[in-house]
Amino acid sequence: MTTARFATILLAGALIALPAFAAELKIGLQDDADVLDPAQSRTFVGRIVYTAMCDKLVDVTPDLKIVPQLATEWNWSGDGKLLTMKLREGVKFHDDTPLDAEAVVATIERNMTLPESRRKSELASVEKVEAVAPYEVKFTLKSPDVTLLAQLSDRAGMIVSPTAAKELGANFGNRPVCAGPFKFVERVQQDRIVLEKFKDYWNKDNIFIDKVTYLPIPDTTVRLANLRSGDLDMIERLAATDAASVKQDANLTYADVVNIGYMALYANIANGPRADTPFGKDKRLRQAFSLAIDREALNQIVYEGTAVGGNQPFPPKSPWFDKDIPVPVRDLDKAKALVKEAGFDRVPVEMQIPNNPVAAQMMQIVQSMVAEAGFDVSLKSTEFATLLSEQTAGNYQLSRSDWSGRVDPDGNIHQFITCKGGINDTKYCNPEVDKLLNEARASTDDAVRKQKYDAAAAILNEDLPIIYLGHQSWIWALHKNITGFVPSPDGMIRLAGVKKAG
């Protein structure tokens, strides 16, 4: 065969193969996801990947309404202790296992019993779940829990293949199998996660992308440079300082929305030996630290006015925010007095922070602010998944970790603060707070719930196991040839309806 003839065949083959992934979307993420198992994971970027890979029983709209996904309808019993859901028929997992009521039961039970599961506290109100018909499941609750539906709109409600879950057990994250629009292809830690369109997806007619590659790029400047060069099609968490330049770039589209989560510092109260510090043991030092921070200045300097200061798990404009505990203004004199009252001149504190420039800038400013009140803060920068691992293990004194927010207020507070909360890395434990938050999730009356949250807020504002800093906006940037993207306050990137022009 001649060289020319061989080259022609190669070219023809390339031309034939190319359209298979003609619409490939490359998305730049701020962090790398942790384990790709909905039962075990806890990272925000992991949830972004799941949005493409793992459908849930219900989903959330941009106006924060709960709508059908794998469940088509649901009903509560009069006493609020039974939740019955009818399932979408004809749905397949990526390994061709059919999705039915038994599969849903298997996933929920796995979330409740797998030793490594982080969903246990989210499903703590569930006594049992049963398949009452081929496509109908019934949740029986220990006590009324109005928050359950919201939990099922997130990782607790992501239904995984029972075949794969049984085969892989705790290693499910190595080869995750769900029922979303895209199936898992490969993962290289700290480099990429690759998904491809699932041809048998129940809503495949509304999926116009063939392949999605997620690339973790912690540096916001590098992430934007990759977008501008064409190496990325879309980035999440654009730095607020770059918002103006993106808006002026004719090749790019800017999108933002105020989020439902928060930025916060977690104090190690009782999580192992490293909690045995003055900062972890004396709430007066945590109060002083909080009072030494100028939250409005942080917002203006770091986030160009796109964020708002905060001191609670809910933004100031949220109906759940306690207006009797307003966002504090900086009070350096009171902060110094509290440090002195606690018996200190200078207080050493090690703070671990994620290794991205925006978080680093913010914490350097905080470091400078609190130094004036008597705190000598040393910053320890680390990759975000490692930071969360260290928090879980108790290998920290003070840690900056943001929460992306949940539709129901319970999702922003219960699992972080209650004695046995699944993400209570501070190990703060106050039976009165537990009682109030448990009563809040049991009531269907929003006025009663508000009263309970306010009472808990008063205690938490005194003890300060978590020092809230504020609430930022989710900001995305994408190429002009990407259309159909709708920003949502939960920060997720939903790909239904998204198109990429040639």
Q: Which letter, b or e, does each residue of 86-101 get, where b requires 16 or more Cβ atoms within 10 Å of its Cβ?
A: bbbeebbbbeebebbb
Greatest Cα pair distance, the chain, in angstroms, is 89
What is the rounded distance in angstroms from the CA atom of residue 316 to the CA atom of residue 314? 7
Q: Residue 502 and residue 495: Cα distance in Å, rounded?
A: 17
Tokens 């909360």 — which residue? 421
Phi, psi of 77 (to 5 degrees): -75, 165
Domain 262-473: CATH superfamily, name plus number: Dipeptide-binding Protein; Domain 3 (3.10.105.10)
pLDDT digit string (tens) for the chain, length 502 residues: 443 333 333 334 343 344 444 699 999 999 999 999 999 999 999 999 999 999 999 999 988 889 999 999 999 998 889 999 999 999 999 999 999 999 999 999 999 999 999 999 889 999 999 999 999 999 999 988 888 999 999 999 999 999 999 999 999 999 999 999 999 999 999 999 999 999 999 999 999 999 999 999 999 999 999 999 999 999 999 999 899 999 999 999 999 987 889 999 999 999 999 999 999 999 999 999 999 999 999 988 999 888 889 999 998 888 899 999 999 999 999 999 999 999 999 999 999 999 988 899 999 999 999 999 999 999 999 999 999 999 999 999 999 999 988 888 998 999 999 999 989 999 999 999 999 999 998 887 889 999 999 999 999 999 999 999 999 899 999 999 999 999 998 999 999 999 999 7
CA distance 388 to 89: 38
Rounded distance between C-alpha atoms, residue 212 and residue 477, angstroms: 16
pLDDT of residue 445: 82
Q: How is domain 55-161 classified at the architecture level of CATH?
A: Alpha-Beta Complex (3.90)
Question: In sequence order, which ranges of 327-474 are alpha helices (DSSP H)?
Answer: 332-341, 357-371, 384-393, 414-417, 431-442, 446-463
pTM of the model: 0.74
Angle 288-292-295 from CA coordinates, rounded to 5°: 125
Rounded CA separation 435/452 (Å): 9
CA distance linking residue 360 with residue 379, whole number of Å: 9
The pLDDT value given to residue 13: 39
Specify the amino acid at residue 240.
A
The amino acid sitting at 57 is L
Strand-strand pairing, 182-188 and 82-87: unpaired
- What's the CA gap between 261 and 44, in Å, rounded? 11
Which residue reads 């200045």 in tokens? 297
pLDDT of residue 403: 92
Q: State the pLDDT at residue 423.
A: 92
Contact 472, 237 (CB under 8 A): no
Domain ranges for the chain, please list them.
Answer: 55-161, 262-473
Buried (b) or exposed (e) across 174-200, using 16+ Cβ within 10 A? eebbbbbbbbbeebeeeebbbbbbbee
Q: Which amino acid is at 277?
A: T
| Contact present, 355 and 381 (Cβ < 8 Å) | yes
- Nearby residues of 213 by Cβ (< 8 Å), 6 or more positions away: 24, 25, 26, 27, 192, 193, 194, 195
